[in-house]
Amino acid sequence: MSELQSIKQRFGIIGQSPLLDRALSTAIRVAPTDLTVLLSGESGVGKEVFSRVIHSLSARKHNKFIAINCGAIPEGTINSELFGHEKGAFTGATNERKGYFEAYDGGTIFLDEIGEMPLDTQSYLLRVLENGEFIRVGSSTTLKTDVRIIAATNVNLEERIKKGKFREDLYYRLSTVPIKVPALRERREDIYILFRKFAVDFAEKYRIQPVQLDEKARQLLENYSWPGNIRELKNIAEQVSVLAEERALGAEELLRVAPMLLNRHLPMIPEKNGIEGTSMQEREILYKLLFDMKGDLNDLKTLVFELIRTNNLNVPDTQHLRVLQSPVFAPAEAKESFPHAEPIFQKEAAIGSRAVISAREENFATEPSGMAKPIILEHAEEADFDQLEVMEENLSLIENEKELIRRALRKHGGRRKEAAHELGISERTLYRKIKEYDMQ
């Protein structure tokens, strides 16, 4: 623990959160090795500080260190920046140039926002990680380098792999030792400590009295979600130090200077734009499936009511059943509404080759109350019925989605474009679903 505290003091790391201590302990343990480290965490959590800790505690601490933001380098020049180029390799290449992997041989290279690196550059980087070899742009000569790579990302690389924007083999090479740097909202016990540090540093720099917060203002600060993490907290501390008229602030005075502390950053449903909207398209498929199931259920209910009403087990056409009412018992006036329903005397209908059902009295023989008598089964306990097996309906969304896709393909003779239009999704989404469910 004393080593951990000394490292915090040496690199200016403020905080007592267990999540922060766990991440920092992992960085300290992996530093003496040459293993590749992948730092993950939101923007502004201090991933570059962790990379400098790893480099300073490694055997390469006396060699060079450089931090490179992959998202800030244009796609057309990133290969030249990392691996160098020969004279005349492209327009404007008037001289040969060493890349970072050649210039920082023996040192450490920190690749921030690695998820924004182009796919062709990822291939070159994979070769460097595997055998330390690279080729300058416009050259055919293989060069060697001995650098340690520390990568960082503020996006989910596994999601980018699924979208085809990041190489899976490179991901596993980079994440030999993954370290998750916690977001500021995950270490709320450190928020006020960091605020005080930033406020005191600002006051010392400009020779003013540092601001202080009462308990309510402190709770307001700790309950904010801090989407910008430590960078945003530092900006707020400096903003309050400049704009606050009083040096002791309550919640109202703090909100007057920084009203954004009342904002709540809640998740939103993604918009339907191309690939990003596939989740909405899948939801539309499920809605369509549920509506179809509801229609089938209504048809089934109407069919049962009609069978009970007529005591006729021949399945009628379901199209005209939608307009029928569904009473089990009908008044005498129902004869006029259903003229085809003749009174039945001792009428028998076979179920398969067994089970005889007979009507004891007329279906519509009325009682004094005006209600018809129900159908009565004679000797029901003696009837020899086949044993029935109740099958539970499959409620799996995936299986129902598969069945809906199969029905659409059968309907359109396997023409996927027309099937996709019928399902209300894009043809690309349908192709992906067919491949995902192995429905080739």
Q: Does domain 397-436 have CATH number 1.10.10?
A: yes
The count of C-alpha atoms lying within 13 angstroms of the C-alpha of 153, restricted to the half-sphere facing its C-beta, is 18
* Strand boundaries in 319-403, DSSP class E: 348-351, 354-358
pLDDT score of 274: 45
pLDDT score of 316: 53
pLDDT score of 404: 86
CA–CA distance, 435 with 440 (Å, rounded to integer): 7
Return all residues near 138 (Cβ < 8 A) that are at least 6 apart.
85, 86, 87, 88, 89, 90, 93
Angle at 346 between CA 343 and CA 349, to 5 degrees: 95
Domain ranges in the chain? 2-182, 185-262, 276-358, 397-436
**Per-residue burial over 171-190, b = 16 or more CB atoms within 10 Å of its CB, e = otherwise:** bebbbebebebbbbbbbeeb
Residue type, 230: I
pLDDT score of 206: 92
pLDDT score of 123: 94
Q: Cβ(357)–Cβ(327) under 8 Å? A: no
Does this model's pTM top 0.95?
no
Read off the tokens for 68.
């490179």
pLDDT score of 307: 75
pLDDT score of 153: 96
CA–CA distance, 364 with 243 (Å, rounded to integer): 88
Q: Which helix (H) or strand (E) holds 152?
A: strand 148-153
pLDDT score of 313: 56
Return all residues near 429 (Cβ < 8 A) that are at least 6 apart.
278, 281, 282, 420
Beta-ladder partners of 149: 109
Architecture of the CATH domain 185-262: Orthogonal Bundle (1.10)
Read off the tokens for 149.
């790579």
* Strand boundaries in 27-88, DSSP class E: 37-40, 65-69
CA–CA distance, 43 with 300 (Å, rounded to integer): 56
pLDDT score of 208: 92
Residue type, 88: G
Q: What is the pLDDT along the chain (440 residues), one digit of tens a residue?
A: 578 999 999 999 999 999 999 999 999 999 999 999 999 999 999 999 999 999 999 999 999 999 999 999 998 899 999 999 999 888 888 899 999 999 999 999 999 999 999 999 999 999 999 999 999 999 999 999 999 999 999 999 999 999 999 999 999 999 999 999 999 999 999 999 999 999 999 999 999 999 999 999 999 999 999 999 999 999 999 999 999 888 999 999 999 989 988 876 554 444 444 444 445 567 777 777 887 888 888 888 887 777 777 765 555 555 554 555 444 444 444 444 444 444 433 344 444 334 333 434 444 444 444 444 454 445 544 445 455 555 566 667 778 888 888 888 888 888 888 888 888 888 888 888 888 887 76
Which residue is associated with the tokens 């099958």?
Answer: 391
Under CATH, domain 2-182 is a member of which superfamily? P-loop containing nucleotide triphosphate hydrolases (3.40.50.300)
CA–CA distance, 335 with 69 (Å, rounded to integer): 84
pLDDT score of 136: 94
CA–CA distance, 160 with 153 (Å, rounded to integer): 11
86: helix, coil or strand? coil
Read off the tokens for 139.
């050259």
* Strand boundaries in 172-265, DSSP class E: 177-180, 212-213, 248-249
CA–CA distance, 185 with 218 (Å, rounded to integer): 14
